[in-house]
Amino acid sequence: MSKKASHIRLYVADDLLTQRTIILGREQAHYLVSVMRLAVGATVLLFNGRDGEWLARLVKADRKSAQLMVEGQTRPQSLDPALPGLTLLFAPVKRAKTDLIVEKATELGVARLIPVITERTNTDRVKMERFLSIAAEAAEQCERLSTPVIDLPTGLDAALKAWPDDRPLYFCDEARTAPLLLSVLWAKSSQSGDGLGPCGLLIGPEGGFTAAEREAVCAHRATCSVSLGARILRAETAAISALSLIASAYELVRTDLQ
């Protein structure tokens, strides 16, 4: 495990199997050769979200391109530590904070990200390519074997309409009468069977939802209003904090099941 952790991991689009040649694009080649100073003969790990993780050896390298030869599989896709049932619906906020949400959600195992446009969302902040590249880089660093799916931006109404009635949608309500998220997760994960199934987390924009939006959220049958405690958290802190709790509860249930 420690040997693997010291390897550079790259997300690629290609199918991965033994003896396959992988030609890296300019950006990844530059990273390996100029930034990380790998030479021909060095090994890296590759994953594509489908075929698990593979050891590959650098067989050709210059500043503009790099060629790898796939050797053997190091982990099957089934060992992906991502959490397939976890979706984050988030209103994009300021650029650095949105980047942080995408990066940390990926690290924390989120399987699907849905950028939600609300009345107080500046749609200029929705940069799909940027989100995808941040998510890929975060996945490379955290031993995931997949990158999260990132949906095209959607309006709040459409997002709510598409959300299934039977899949809990945690909503961090600033009205502090809601139960603590940890206490809800605690109760669910001590239930027998699949008490902690697929779920979503909805995080509003910096200025909060409008009254009408909040009403629409609360009217959805799946909505489960929760509190994160007595302190007022910024939007990105609320996202990271709530995802940490949910990911840990999933992890705990998974551990118990083994």
> Interface with its own copies by CB under 8 A: which residues?
1, 5, 81-82, 100, 104, 107-109, 141-144, 174, 176, 180-183, 186, 228-234, 237, 240-242, 244-245, 247-249, 251-252, 255
Query: Is the Cβ of residue 19 or residue 255 nearer to its own copies in the bound state?
Result: 255
Report the C-alpha gap between 109 and 249 in whole angstroms. 12
Residue in the block written with tokens 């896709």: 77
Strand order in the sheet with 9-11: 9-11, 43-47, 53-61, 66-75, 21-24
Query: Is the Cβ of residue 11 or residue 163 nearer to its own copies in the bound state?
Result: 11
Query: Is the Cβ of residue 69 or residue 252 nearer to its own copies in the bound state?
Result: 252
Query: Least Å distance between CB 86 and its own copies?
Result: 12
Integer-rounded Cα radius of gyration of the chain: 20
Query: Least Å distance between CB 167 and its own copies?
Result: 22
Query: Is the Cβ of residue 16 or residue 249 nearer to its own copies in the bound state?
Result: 249
Query: Is the Cβ of residue 169 or residue 247 nearer to its own copies in the bound state?
Result: 247
Query: Least Å distance between CB 206 and its own copies?
Result: 11
Cα–chain-centroid distance for residue 115? 12
Query: Least Å distance between CB 198 and its own copies?
Result: 18
Q: Which pairing describes strands 110-117 and 83-90: parallel, antiparallel, or unpaired?
A: parallel
Report the C-alpha gap between 67 and 238 in whole angstroms. 42
Query: Least Å distance between CB 251 and its own copies?
Result: 4
Cβ atoms of 59 and 68 within 8 Å: the answer is yes
Q: Which is it for the CA torsion 33, 39, 44, 50, positive or negative?
A: positive
Query: Least Å distance between CB 241 and its own copies?
Result: 4
**Residue 79, SS3?**
helix
Query: Is the Cβ of residue 51 or residue 80 nearer to its own copies in the bound state?
Result: 80
Report the C-alpha gap between 1 and 75 in whole angstroms. 11
- 163: tokens are 């959300």
